[in-house]
A and B are shown apart, each in its own frame.
Chain A
């Protein structure tokens, strides 16, 4: 069964600290994976996409990694800011006979406190 599991479910850190969010998937065949950030009261916004051949990709203070062998991705946030408080959602493409489908994780809620 195609699944995307995210951990931790929630996380509280102090401003300025680093953190890492995890995404494990059992999607096959895998094509790519995208991280979204959802601020409170807003819709999710894409942060970055990881394709099968990519290991690491940075977008400012956000660095995503992908290990296709272990089927794991991580999102590392450096020097966290209050504005990083949000839910982070991992989404993976799954191909099947009917076409492709998006498999959503349940998200990690990050709270950055001062």
Chain B
């Protein structure tokens, strides 16, 4: 079974649309994350959700909103998509929040292309 799964794998949409990416983890972890990987492959944290506490990266536009229906799911909703939102979005989970001693388990990414 895939530990962290996200859907869809590819998402092509037009500017101005609203879209969602879903993520589920079956590892029993308390913390989930969303990362954005740009064209230069640099991973940037967008959000972390730890025991119902949301930690937001202040540089993330408020068009992006995470939604966690339960501990195993963390979805990402994006409003009014812009060209600059094109990137690969990774969901991840860890047993303990924010420390290298607790490894991140990543999904295989969602490649978002905004045209």
Contact = CB atoms under 8 A, between A and B. Distances in A.
A78 to B, nearest CB: 23
Interface string A87-114: 1010111000001111010110100000
Interface residues of A, number: 27
Interface in B72-115: 90, 92, 97-101, 103-104, 106-109
Interface of A: 31-34, 36, 38, 41-46, 49, 51, 87, 89, 91-93, 99-102, 104, 106-107, 109
A92 B106 contact: no
Contacts, number: 63
Interface residues of B, number: 20
A88 B42 CA distance: 11
16 contacts: A31-B100, A36-B104, A41-B108, A42-B108, A42-B109, A43-B4, A43-B106, A51-B101, A93-B100, A101-B98, A102-B98, A104-B43, A104-B44, A104-B45, A107-B41, A109-B41
